[in-house]
Amino acid sequence: MTVQKTNPKTNPKTNSGNFFEDFRIGQKLVHATPRTVTAGDAALYTSLFGPRFPVQSSAEFARSLGLPEAPMDDLLTFHIIFGKTVADISLNAVANLGYAECRFLRPVYAGDTLAATSDVIGLKENSNGKTGIVYVRSTGTNQRGETVASWVRWVMVRKGDEAAPVPEAVVPQLADVVSVSDLALPEANFSDYDFALAGSPHRWGDYEPGEQIDHIDGMTIEEAEHMMATRAFQNTAKVHFNQFTEGKGRFGRRLIYGGHVISLARALSFNGLGNAAFVAAINAGAHVAPCFAGDTVYAWSRIVEKAELPGRDDCGALRVNMIATKDYPCADFPLKDEAGKNHAAVILNLDYWVIMPK
């Protein structure tokens, strides 16, 4: 059952979101509102982030691989489902901390309707007594009830009443890496993949573990596009869209939604990973530092692992560690300083699997 805390200063019919003490282990949250995805969403996603991956860009290219049409970008699917969960999970969040066990299981096409549920799997109050960490497993389904994506995320949430009792801490054990055997095999057949039209000649076999790729390009985040994205994804977290409240907070301005940075970095990765056709899974992810409008995002990647896909000789999987920075070109691949701490410019550390033609 969803526990909703009303705002006594406004109206008992309004929802001020769940605070840390409102969550319980085993609680299932059914999120409003189902959302039908349209071709307009795909066009807006391209306008916001500029991805150039051919399968999602061209219906004819997608059909040449046996798909019915161009699918939605995997991260667009992620954003829409994620946005459904905010009102119940992170409306009172201080920060979204990380991701694990994220899998993209089915392609989403224009006309599909996405809905979301979440299960609370972990709770841990912070030592300051003012906040706590909430762990949830969120699941997105289409109109046929098929799971299209699922993930675990953990978020720091404020307490509404600092004196409120909280349950005993439970921290879930999560896999470090999504197993290759758990990756969904792509419905596309890459046997006739056109590398010239794709814009990159580099195949799965051209990459080796340990290889580092500077994606070179940078992209500046504008306030208007970030606001448009949070509205498009129906992400209602006030830290992203309410300058009146955030102007009084610790940063004095709105935070850029972390998923916005993920999509920007993925789009930038086309220069060097242009044939990484699908995101199959996110093994781990951390928003290392805040990002604000006016920051310029750069990205670089390190190939962590190569894997054959069972029963497939037309494509393979690459495990990639992608680092994004702000206002810091990545030619020297910053990650850790001499003391082992993240470089001050690092804003994202994402470990994920992609599918690439052979």
For the chain, what are the domain ranges? 1-37+72-174, 187-358
The answer to whether 129 and 159 have CB atoms below 8 angstroms apart is: yes
- Alpha-carbon distance of 262 to 200, in angstroms, equals 22
The answer to whether 20 and 159 have CB atoms below 8 angstroms apart is: yes
The dihedral of CA 67, 69, 75, 79: what is its sign?
negative
pLDDT at 237: 85
The answer to whether 353 and 283 have CB atoms below 8 angstroms apart is: yes
Phi, psi of 2 (to 5 degrees): -80, 125
DSSP track, 127-185: TTSSEEEEEEEEEEE-TTS-EEEEEEEEEEEE-SSTTS--PPPB-----SS--GGGSPP
Contacts of 301 by beta carbon, 8 Å cutoff, 6+ apart:
212, 213, 215, 269, 272, 273, 320, 321, 322, 323
Helix, strand, coil abundance in the chain, percent, nearest 5: 25, 35, 45
pLDDT at 4: 47
CATH of 187-358, one of 3.40.50.300, 3.30.70.1350, 3.10.129.10, 3.40.190.10: 3.10.129.10
Please indicate whether the domains covering 1-37+72-174 and 187-358 agree at the CATH topology level.
yes
Q: What would you report as the CA-atom Rg of the chain, rounded to the nearest whole angstrom?
A: 20
Stated pTM of the model = 0.93
pLDDT at 328: 94
Which amino acid makes up residue 38?
T
Q: Residue 343 is inside which H or E element, if any?
A: none
End-to-end CA distance of the chain: 47
Contacts of 333 by beta carbon, 8 Å cutoff, 6+ apart:
212, 214, 300, 302, 323
One pLDDT digit (tens) per residue for the chain, 358 residues = 444 454 444 567 888 889 999 999 999 999 999 999 999 999 999 999 999 999 999 999 999 999 999 999 999 999 999 999 999 999 988 888 999 999 999 999 999 999 999 999 999 999 999 999 999 999 999 999 999 999 999 999 999 999 998 889 999 999 999 999 999 999 999 999 999 999 999 999 999 999 999 999 999 999 999 999 999 999 988 888 889 988 998 899 999 999 999 999 999 999 999 999 999 999 999 999 999 999 999 999 999 999 999 999 999 999 999 999 999 998 877 777 777 788 889 999 999 999 999 9
- Alpha-carbon distance of 187 to 110, in angstroms, equals 17
CATH T-level topology, domain 1-37+72-174: Thiol Ester Dehydrase; Chain A (3.10.129)
